[in-house]
Structure 1
Amino acid sequence: MQVSLESGEGLERILSVELPAERVEEEVSRRLEEIGRTARMDGFRPGKVPMRMLRRQYGSQVLQEVYGSLVESSYQDALQQQNLNPVGPPKIEPKQSDDESVFAYTATLEVMPEIELAKIEGKVTRPVAQVVDQDVEDMIEKLRGQRISWNPVERAAAEQDQVKINFKGIMDGEAFDGGSANDVPLVLGSNSMIDGFESGLIGALAGESRTLELKFPEDYRVEKLAGKPVTFEVDVIEVAEAILPELDDAFAKEFGSDEGVEKLKSDIRENMENELKQRIKARLKEQAMDLLIECNELHVPTALVDEEIDALRNQTRSRLPAGSSSMELPRDMFESQAKRRVGLGLLIAEVIKKNSIKLDDERVRQTIEEFAASYEQPEEVIKHYYANQEQLAAVQNVVLEDQVVDWVMEQADVVDEPTNFAELTAES
């Protein structure tokens, strides 16, 4: 067998394989002889059918089988000979040869990239923050805001009041679809309506009617309305002010605390501290992974990227409303994310291999315990994880990634950046 190798674009390789035609003929003859032992044809006893008739009857089928078998076996031999690590199946094409004594084909394939890890050079900014009393008080106020009740008042509407309204939108002298509604509760200052609508109702009294001359934003979501002038005729039915619930034991009980307000505050602080810890960890991990990619330019196999795109498409479809699962989702919607995931996966694996990083079983246990702590019977949750290999493997992978983050951080220039809980959690 003769094998030659060419490099294509990126990670593409082209194997040219040549086999002696006599090897094909030998295998065809051998298989035809096997068929001949049991083949039945009119006028001949089993095992006595002439070879020429066997070739006429079965030759084409056997030749195709032999070709397939020889391609499969010789391809594997060629991979070993050229020391190639393929990604996915090859594209096999027959190759024309001037020498009729040669059976030839080409195999086009992608190979795994050879990774030489570069030195990590760059900065990682580590957020430094703690949960303070004001953070807890602010969270309490948010929770009180979730339990607001509205008390009708006989005064002019002010910012943060709720008005109940009927309204009708008019454009070019006619009401338009979707521009009218009745008994709509609207909190003034919530920015739920287009600019000028809510501010135009400040000072209105229950029973009052107002006409608002406004304009839809240029980037309004309904294209036919974007940038157009509009008139809203608004009837104010009711004005109500917000009543916050008292911060008492009854309020605490609504949020799962049967031991009063102080216990509620303690639970809130603990949850916020856990969230802060996870936010800092996630911020560091993102920066460490960005730095790992930045320092290691890498070609990623198209086959692996395609697999990752399919996985991301399926994840997105699973979150779509019922009936939308067949929606066509374009490749370029996921390509960048898929390339990053594949590249990171290859780099993480190489870091683990080159640095002989061993899984920290104690960190695995600690990670599971932290997750289980939020349940009523944490020990049962821990037992479940260790009894379920799939879920345990998922935690182990996360811990290994965390160990790689530690490896990057040891080499990077880490700079502490003072911040606070509100700033660190602002994106949510």
Structure 2
Amino acid sequence: MQVSVETTSGLERKVSISTPSDVINSDIQKRLQQLSKTQRMAGFRPGKIPMSVIKKRFGGAVTNEILQEVMSRSFYQAIQEQNLQPAGQPMLDAGDLEGTEFTFTATFEVFPEITLTEFSKLKIEKPESEIKDKDIDRMLDNLLKQKGTWEPVKRMAKKDDTVVIDFVGTIDGEAFEGGTAEGFNLVLGSDSMIPGFEKQLLKVKTGEERQITVTFPEDYQSAEVAGKEAVFDVTVKEVKGLKTPELDDEFVKEFGVEDGGVDQLKAEIQKNMQRELDAKIKGEIKTKVFESLQEANEVEIPKPLIDQEIQVLKQQAVQQFSQGRDAQIDLPDLPSAIFEDQAKKRVELALLVNQIIQDNELKVDADRVKETIETMASAYDEPEQMVNWYYSNQEQLQQVESAVMEDQVVDLILEQANVKSKSFGFDELMNPNPSK
């Protein structure tokens, strides 16, 4: 077997492979002889069909079959000899058997050779935060509000009140679609209406009528009204204030705290907040580490890997969009272009992480895998059963191992990178883009 390799462009390789034709013809003849012993045809006794008849009927199919086997076997032997790593299936172009040699070509892309930038050159901002008493009190206040009831009030409406309103909206004196409602419940300060709408309803009273003028944003979802000024005639049917329950032992018991009263509830709140904060910080650090890694390393990405990742993203989008809907979305309906940038970033990151694992000969930490599984299982009523399930489900176990390996890569980078800490308030870190 003779092999030659040509770099056609970037990661693309064209491999030419030649094999003696007489060897292939011999294999074809043997396969036809085997068929002659098993085939049955009218007018011939079993095993007595002339080879000329067998060849005429099955020769083409057998030749194609043998050639496919030869090309597959020769291709994988060639890439091993040439130390090539295909990033996708090759495109095979077969020659003919007329000469002394059968030659075919295989065109494919290979994985890129990656030389990583030194981790010490990476600059990473590491977020830090601690839970203060005011954060716990704010969370406790939210729990009280969740258990509160809306009751009519005789005073003027203020922020966080609910107003029940009828309204009719017009643009240039004409009503428009979606501009009319009756018995509409609106929490003032929720920013659920057009900018300026809720603010103009502050200090209204039950039974009051008020005219409101607002301008729809230029990027409003309905092009019919986007950027236009609208006038709303509003009738206030009712103003409601939120009455929260007393913070006592009875309230505390609603959250499963039987002993310790309010102090114990606060302790449980802090424990849950700390768990959420730790997870948030861990996720933020991983994101920043990987962003810095990708910024510092330019990688040529094989197109087949991008195409594969696009299909994964399409499938995820279909599953997400189809939840709760009767109609299913077909994959061909989703244009690949909208997923391409995300697919490139994901493939690039995977290539970089794999290179780090290879360069540093990292092995997944079994103790960290066990700890991760036990932590996830602790959220269930029967944690031991969940632990056993993870270890007996190879797919789920591999997902956990992959996540742990990513954590090990992050830890390795942080040990060597230029890391600077930055402090954040609890809300600032947990809700970086709160509604205004």
Cα distance in 1 for partners of 2:246, 2:398 equals: 47
Aligned to 1:385: 390
Counterpart check, 1:361 vs 2:362: no
2:334 to 305, 319, 329: 329
Aligned to 2:16: 16
Aligned residues of 2:122 and 2:293 also touching (Cα < 8 A):
no
Residue type at the aligned position of 1:145: K
Q: Deviations over 1:361-391 (max 9, x none)?
A: 2222322333334344544443443444433
Aligned to 1:103: 102
**Gap change, CA 1:312 and 1:33, over 3 Å in 2:** same
Aligned residues of 2:153 and 2:241 also touching (Cα < 8 A):
yes
Aligned to 1:191: 191
1:339 CA displacement: 2.2
Aligned to 1:415: 420
Q: Deviations over 1:73-118 (max 9, x none)?
A: 2222222232222233211123479x84432221111222233333
Residue type at the aligned position of 1:325: Q
Residue type at the aligned position of 1:103: F
Residue type at the aligned position of 2:326: G
**TM-score, normalization by structure 1:** 0.90
**Gap change, CA 1:218 and 1:294, over 3 Å in 2:** closer
1:266 CA displacement: 0.4
Q: Deviations over 1:188-207 (max 9, x none)?
A: 22222213322332333222
With 47-56 and 229-238 compared, the bigger mean Cα shift is at 47-56
Residue type at the aligned position of 2:106: A
Aligned residues of 2:130 and 2:425 also touching (Cα < 8 A):
yes
Residue 130 of structure 1 aligns to a residue whose secondary structure is: coil
The 5 A counterparts of 1:50-89 are 50-89=50-89
The 5 A counterparts of 1:272-351 are 272-320=273-321, 321=323, 322-327=325-330, 328-351=333-356
Residue type at the aligned position of 1:337: Q
Q: Deviations over 1:230-278 (max 9, x none)?
A: 2212111112223232222232233332332211110010111111111
**Gap change, CA 1:405 and 1:182, over 3 Å in 2:** same
Residue type at the aligned position of 1:338: A
| Percent of aligned pairs with the same amino acid | 42
Residue type at the aligned position of 1:246: E
With 17-26 and 42-51 compared, the bigger mean Cα shift is at 42-51
With 13-22 and 125-134 compared, the bigger mean Cα shift is at 13-22
**Gap change, CA 1:51 and 1:256, over 3 Å in 2:** same
The 5 A counterparts of 1:14-163 are 14-37=14-37, 47=47, 49-95=49-95, 100-120=99-119, 121-163=121-163
Q: Deviations over 1:38-69 (max 9, x none)?
A: 55667765555554444333322322222222
Count of residues in correspondence between the two structures: 427
1:412 CA displacement: 0.2
Cα distance in 2 for partners of 1:384, 1:59 equals: 53
**Gap change, CA 1:147 and 1:78, over 3 Å in 2:** same
With 33-42 and 340-349 compared, the bigger mean Cα shift is at 33-42
Q: Deviations over 1:308-365 (max 9, x none)?
A: 2222221222122413531522223222222222222232233223222233222223
Q: Deviations over 1:120-165 (max 9, x none)?
A: 1121222222111111111112222323322322233333332111
Cα distance in 1 for partners of 2:21, 2:385 equals: 66
Residue 235 of structure 1 aligns to a residue whose secondary structure is: strand
Residue 90 of structure 2 aligns to a residue whose secondary structure is: strand
1:224 CA displacement: 0.6
**TM-score, normalization by structure 2:** 0.89
The 5 A counterparts of 1:226-237 are 226-237=226-237
Query: Unaligned regions of 5+ residues in structure 1, if any?
Result: none
Aligned residues of 1:215 and 1:229 also touching (Cα < 8 A):
yes
Aligned to 1:220: 220
With 220-229 and 350-359 compared, the bigger mean Cα shift is at 350-359
1:293 CA displacement: 2.5
**Gap change, CA 1:314 and 1:47, over 3 Å in 2:** closer
Query: Unaligned regions of 5+ residues in structure 2, if any?
Result: none
